[in-house]
Structure 1
Amino acid sequence: MNYIDLFAGAGGLSEGFIRAGFFPVAHVEMDVSATQTLCTRVAYHYLKKKNQLEIYQQYLQGKISQEQFYSTIPNSLLQTIINQEISDESIDCIFEKIEMVMKLKGIDSIDLIIGGPPCQAYSLVGRARDPYSKEHDPRNYLYKQYVKFLKKFKPKIFVFENVPGILNAGKGKLFEDIQQYLNEAGYEIEAKILDSSKFGVLQQRKRVILIGWKKKLRLSYPQFQEIAHHYLVKDLIRDFPEMKPGERIDYGSYVKEPSEYLKKYKIRSDKDPLIQHITRPHNDRDREIYYYVIDVWNREKRRLKYTELPERVQTHGNKESFLDRFKVVAQDLHFSHTVVAHIAKDGHYYIHPDIQQLRSISVREAARLQSFPDNYYFEGSRTAVFTQIGNAVPPLMAEQIAQEIKKMLIASS
């Protein structure tokens, strides 16, 4: 079973489908760093299949360059990663590239299309900061490009992922338009808000998962089984060495054995090195604030409001809204709050729970909250990597969605 991934980002959604046994025909992504992450991940899966992961380890250790690493992979495989913005001007060119891959691979038809257009345009926070509610933001209309792929490749099923804000944007008119476009393209659709914490991810992250299928197939939206568990956020982070702000371990070792959670959900194996444990620097004032925030959580199990901080560290003039701008990732809960792309700008919303470290979470800790496996390498600057992680669909959630889509495809054949 094959698929095309549109607006692919760092590949969180795709990773879940690969784990479920799907074959990616193409990934389309406009961001250069995210595209390189996809190339590196495609290379990882290729080398794993060939029992040549020692080449991947050499790359992670910095023993070979990215160019040397990619040269070990068939060029035809790297061509499946298409680094282009999807627009009226580029879409025919993208179609041609996908058709070329299909021809090379002997693929007659596409089973599935997955992906979601960039969601900032209809995120609740995004609208709150825009007096016009982003009604005229061109990103609001990328769903029309998505529909063009459905009309071109006619997959049996598609999965369209987005933020809950898409349902209410433009007083609900935007989502009505999306539904109409998809119906006119020949698909029955249903959308539900799913929470990643119900899928074993130790993070509360709500996403609209819209699933469509060709009208003649008479399918229905899958029933997802909620995963009940006893794991806590500390099961994700207790094996990391302590770090100071601004420190980094590009390739190193853990200080403890993997927890039961990490092993059960295949996030860390005994063979995995510690990679990209990279922290951002903080000034003394922020570290002092972090101390207060962590201390109040540890003693009182509540979130400290900005106005409760000592006045000498209150530098923001706005004391009426966004009073929770500093937030600890609580290790004694079953899930963290949502990791979003804003983590690339500062770490105030993602403070590490250890009062001895006084820092925000590292790249690898953020990736774990998103359920990325420890062998997943993200390309680009620290800021670019945090953005990729914050925008991703948790692979653990994606895998379970993929398993149900597989059942639907089998039922339709």
Structure 2
Amino acid sequence: MTDRFTHKAARLRAGAKPRLLDLFAGCGGLSLGFKAAGFEISGAVEFDPDAARSHGINFHGGAVEHCIARDITRTDPAELAADLQLGPLEDAIDVIVGGPPCQAFARVGRPKLREIDAHPQAFRNDPRARLYQEYLRYVDAFQPLAVLMENVPDLLNHGGQNLAEEICEVLEAKGYTCGYTLLNASFYGVPQMRERMFLIGYRREVAQRVTFPKPSHWMTLPPGYEGSRAVALKVLNSLLDDAHDYLDPPSPRRDLIPAVTAEQAIGDLPPIYARRQLAAGVLKRGARRFNETIPYDRRRKPSAYASVMRSWSGFEAPADGLSDHVIRYLPRDYELFARLNPGDQYPQAHQHAMNMLEERLAELRRQGQMIRTGSAEYERLKDAIVPPYDASKFPNKWRKMWRDQPARTLMAHLGKDGYSHIHYDSEQSRTISVREAARLQSFPDGFVFSGTMNPAFRQIGNAVPPLMARALAETMLMAMRGEREETADEPRRAAAAI
């Protein structure tokens, strides 16, 4: 082991906190999970100004140098270390985490990945490879003891390529032992069925093999999630790819704690009765700013999960209430939301809307108004009641949540289209609020999102769930400190909290 790695490893094994750099950090889902596990968040690189400011506010008290949006392709590691006062570059960071956007890997084959790594300047203008190249550049510069990458499952079968395997090959050439798998967040206490690929690498001098955290919760995933996993893994069985770095995900046991449900996650939050607010003129069109607070409803008792979200150390619930418990303005659809059944998607929603249209026409006929189908008046009435999308082309565009199951995957486009997560409570008849989305992603109530509603939704949807990150961080910390793995009968600390 070189002196540099000897010094870093000895420092950790003496009990010091690992120093972490978060690339493509977003608002800090990974950072929060790793911080909860005992890591020191030394810095981050994030391109989006709102997300960068969120990260700086939550992890560095809003210090200006930590709130600056940075383009990783134009940020030199040495300059970053100097700007953030991290000390000598080669001894500044122990762990690098992050998830380069998957577009960076599109159609980049194994030979080209190797060539990019060997001759980075030759491909600086190649948009398919540049972000991957920058991640590697930071690994080379900081020489961390461990790395973590996160991405969508499709990375395992992107146009017939297993890009996770190819990434491992490049990292292994740099001296890392690597492994990757698919993990579902619902198995780790997150009230969301979010499936993602995680890749871990350790310097060979630190650890000889990679393991992933054992699940703390149990549920039976719906067929769609198992199907998605099967598609992502399809290439692993092909003759073109041995996938020797793929590891089967740890299986959840049926005697574990049941997965956290949507109602357990958000049922204690103050209700927002959209139809009443609309009728009273309280709910209006316009940007949703976080300048008004809503106190907690003391009549709604928090579940064990909600209690954790309210009391997370360093991110405790605001004493004066929630400022980001705001919803989208969707006046046409509130009545329709109330009619949906749990699990209903867009085809069912469209049929409900057509029924509502027929009811309205019948009511007008009773009042002596005859509206001919296809007339301009009919079309105006239809537009005011029925969503315009073709039910045969957008089957998954809408979904009303089940109260007794975890939510389906939250996406970044929640900021533009929140119909994928319609509140299970028909009396509230609305899409979820920013704070409810944060709860479903396992962000504590004291975590601050910079910007207005849409940027906040985007930050939440893009993030790694902090509880998922914490499980990974605890496993990585044990490996880097040379500690034994926990046995199958030992509950994880995070599970005990919820």
- For Structure 1 versus Structure 2, the TM-score category normalised by the shorter chain is 0.7 to 0.9
Give the deviation of 1:304 after TM superposition: 5.8
* 2:324 is aligned with 1:338: no
2:324 aligned counterpart, secondary structure:
strand
1:252 aligned counterpart, secondary structure:
coil
* 2:101 is aligned with 1:101: no
CA distance, structure 1, for counterparts of residue 75 and residue 317 of structure 2 = 44
Q: Which residue number in structure 1 is paired with residue 335 of structure 2?
A: 288
Scaled by the length of structure 2, the TM-score of the pair is: 0.66
Residue from 95, 101, 110 that aligns with 2:93:
110
Residues 78 and 406 (structure 1 numbering): CA distance in 2 closer, same or farther, change over 3 Å?
Answer: farther
* 2:158 is aligned with 1:169: yes
CA distance, structure 2, for counterparts of residue 184 and residue 139 of structure 1 = 21
Residue from 108, 126, 134 that aligns with 1:145:
134
Q: Which residue number in structure 1 is paired with residue 400 of structure 2?
A: 328
CA distance, structure 1, for counterparts of residue 133 and residue 468 of structure 2 = 26
- Partner deviation per Cα, 1:341-395 (whole Å, 9 max, x = no partner): 1111121111111112221000000000000000001001211110000000111
Residues 181 and 91 (structure 1 numbering): CA distance in 2 closer, same or farther, change over 3 Å?
Answer: farther
Residues 302 and 79 (structure 1 numbering): CA distance in 2 closer, same or farther, change over 3 Å?
Answer: closer
Question: What is the root-mean-square deviation of aligned Cα atoms in Å?
Answer: 2.8
Write the mapping of 1:6-405 to structure 2, written as runs, cut at 5 A. 6-44=23-61, 70=62, 77-87=63-73, 90-92=74-76, 94-103=77-86, 108-119=91-102, 138=127, 141-172=130-161, 174-228=163-217, 229-230=257-258, 231-245=260-274, 246=283, 250-255=292-297, 256-264=300-308, 272=319, 273-284=321-332, 286-293=333-340, 296-297=341-342, 303=345, 305-306=347-348, 308-311=351-354, 312=382, 313-316=385-388, 318-333=390-405, 335-405=406-476
Q: Which moved more, 1:242-251 or 1:358-367?
A: 242-251
1:171 aligned counterpart, secondary structure:
coil
Letter in 2 for 1:384: P
CA distance, structure 2, for counterparts of residue 342 and residue 226 of structure 1 = 28
8 Å Cα contact 2:47-2:69 kept in structure 1: yes
Unaligned ranges ≥5, structure 2: 1-17, 107-124, 218-256, 275-282, 355-381, 484-498
Letter in 1 for 2:72: I
8 Å Cα contact 1:186-1:214 kept in structure 2: yes
8 Å Cα contact 2:192-2:408 kept in structure 1: yes
- Partner deviation per Cα, 1:147-174 (whole Å, 9 max, x = no partner): 1111111101100111111111131154
8 Å Cα contact 1:233-1:336 kept in structure 2: yes
Percent of paired sites with the same residue: 33
Letter in 1 for 2:335: E
8 Å Cα contact 2:22-2:31 kept in structure 1: yes
Letter in 2 for 1:85: D
Residues 259 and 20 (structure 1 numbering): CA distance in 2 closer, same or farther, change over 3 Å?
Answer: same
Letter in 1 for 2:404: D
- Partner deviation per Cα, 1:131-158 (whole Å, 9 max, x = no partner): xxxxx99255411110111111110110
8 Å Cα contact 1:122-1:163 kept in structure 2: no
Give the deviation of 1:253 after TM superposition: 1.1
CA distance, structure 1, for counterparts of residue 473 and residue 295 of structure 2 = 32
CA distance, structure 1, for counterparts of residue 137 and residue 36 of structure 2 = 27
8 Å Cα contact 1:28-1:81 kept in structure 2: no
CA distance, structure 2, for counterparts of residue 91 and residue 243 of structure 1 = 43
Letter in 2 for 1:253: P
Aligned residues: 359
1:203 aligned counterpart, secondary structure:
coil
- Partner deviation per Cα, 1:232-252 (whole Å, 9 max, x = no partner): 221122222221444777323
Scaled by the length of structure 1, the TM-score of the pair is: 0.79
Give the deviation of 1:83 after TM superposition: 1.9
1:96 aligned counterpart, secondary structure:
helix
CA distance, structure 1, for counterparts of residue 136 and residue 353 of structure 2 = 53
CA distance, structure 2, for counterparts of residue 279 and residue 18 of structure 1 = 30
1:179 aligned counterpart, secondary structure:
helix
Residues 172 and 102 (structure 1 numbering): CA distance in 2 closer, same or farther, change over 3 Å?
Answer: same
Residues 173 and 161 (structure 1 numbering): CA distance in 2 closer, same or farther, change over 3 Å?
Answer: closer
Residue from 11, 22, 25 that aligns with 1:5:
22
Letter in 2 for 1:332: D
CA distance, structure 2, for counterparts of residue 162 and residue 377 of structure 1 = 24
2:160 aligned counterpart, secondary structure:
helix
Residues 25 and 82 (structure 1 numbering): CA distance in 2 closer, same or farther, change over 3 Å?
Answer: farther
1:194 aligned counterpart, secondary structure:
strand
8 Å Cα contact 2:53-2:68 kept in structure 1: no
Give the deviation of 1:259 after TM superposition: 2.0
CA distance, structure 1, for counterparts of residue 450 and residue 132 of structure 2 = 27
8 Å Cα contact 1:25-1:102 kept in structure 2: no
1:192 aligned counterpart, secondary structure:
strand
8 Å Cα contact 1:195-1:206 kept in structure 2: yes
CA distance, structure 1, for counterparts of residue 339 and residue 104 of structure 2 = 34
